[in-house]
Amino acid sequence: MKAYIFPGQGAQFSGMGLDLYENSTVAQELFEKANEILGFSITDIMFEGSAEDLKQTKVTQPAIFLHSVILAKTLGEDFKPEMVAGHSLGEFSALVASNALSFEDGLRLVSKRAMAMQKACEMQPSTMAAVLGLEDAVVEEVCASIDGVVVAANYNCPGQLVISGEIEAINKACDVLKEKGAKRALVLPVGGAFHSPMMEPAREELAAAIEETAFATPSCPVYQNVVAKAVTNPEEIKENLIKQLTAPVRWTQSVQQMVADGGSEFIEVGPGKVLQGLMRKIDRSVAASGATFQVSE
């Protein structure tokens, strides 16, 4: 079975999407529509902006979403997913690509999500750290033993787990994890503690917007981060999407479930190759590649 997977934050690069815009009228129309919806020219920043410009909160998440979704829409007849999933932000791309959510509503929610997360980050300093070379259970135990907020946030692949929480608690956890044998426990240059209880204000803000948005039954099962299994019921999809900001991204478990359910060819749709790299570490037996845009007009 063919599975399409969509990347999350961090995959952005200067010039992203320009080839799509220049070679596809479908892409042009969608990019121009995005500029209208957002109220500023995100295309200028995506196509010509610096890495620093692309790091702006109002830009990063919508830019990755747009690149992923518009690439999917330009694949035409070639785009026939039998299952989809997205890493964190990428889940919104997956929902639009599987017709559970309209392009316009997806973009509005992603923009709202970015702003809500930024506000939550400013309320209280917090951070994340990547832990390499330990079993998930060991990392979870250490997090539970630390005073303060620190939780497992991103289960990226076996031996790579990102933790999230208060700065002091993260630093303490990193020290203990190194003592436990972690190859690395490295604080990441991020704006805050995503996928942790620190995002509760953002979750509440986004929940209101999600509740007001129309969701449809997707054209194929969506493997959601929160539950790491196939979901097709629109109400369940909304519920899981609301939980996503404060719950861990169970990416390893999602991919393993997709393989167990018959996923044999995984295609990353969007900027970068991060998910292809993680695929090779999760299950080498399945094919992993990137979606390639072909000029058809």
Q: What are the tens digits of pLDDT across the range 149-195?
A: 999 999 999 999 999 999 999 999 999 999 999 999 999 988 899 99
- pLDDT surpassing 70 at residue 295: no
What CA–CA distance (Å, rounded) separates 129 from 84?
27
What does the pLDDT average to over 213-235?
Answer: 98
User: What class is the 126-187 domain?
Assistant: alpha beta
Residues serving a catalytic function are 88, 195
Classify residue 50 by burial, with Cβ atoms within 10 Å: 0-12, 13-18, 19+.
Answer: exposed
The arrangement of strands across the sheet holding 230-231 comes to 230-231, 222-223, 83-86, 2-6, 265-268, 287-290
Closest CA to 68 of 207, 274, 217, 287: 274
Asked if residue 133 lies in contact with residue 117, where contact means CB atoms within 8 angstroms, the answer is no
**Cα dihedral angle (179, 163, 288, 133), rounded to 10 degrees?**
0
What CA–CA distance (Å, rounded) separates 204 from 109?
13
Residue 108: C-alpha distances to residues 73, 115, 244 (Å): 18, 11, 17
What does the pLDDT average to over 204-224?
Answer: 97
What does the pLDDT average to over 281-289?
Answer: 94
Share the mean pLDDT of the chain.
95
Residue 132 φ/ψ, nearest 5 degrees: -115, 140
According to DSSP, the residues that pair with 85 across neighbouring strands are 5, 223
- pLDDT surpassing 50 at residue 297: no
- pLDDT surpassing 90 at residue 294: no
Q: Which two tokens stand for residue 258?
A: 């997709």
pLDDT one-digit tens code per residue, 126-141: 999 999 999 999 999 9
pLDDT at 47: 97
- The domain spans of the chain are 2-122+197-290, 126-187
What does the pLDDT average to over 4-12?
Answer: 93
- Give the whole-number percent of the chain exceeding pLDDT 90: 92
3.40.640.10, 3.90.650.10, 3.40.366.10, 3.40.50.720: which CATH number matches 2-122+197-290? 3.40.366.10
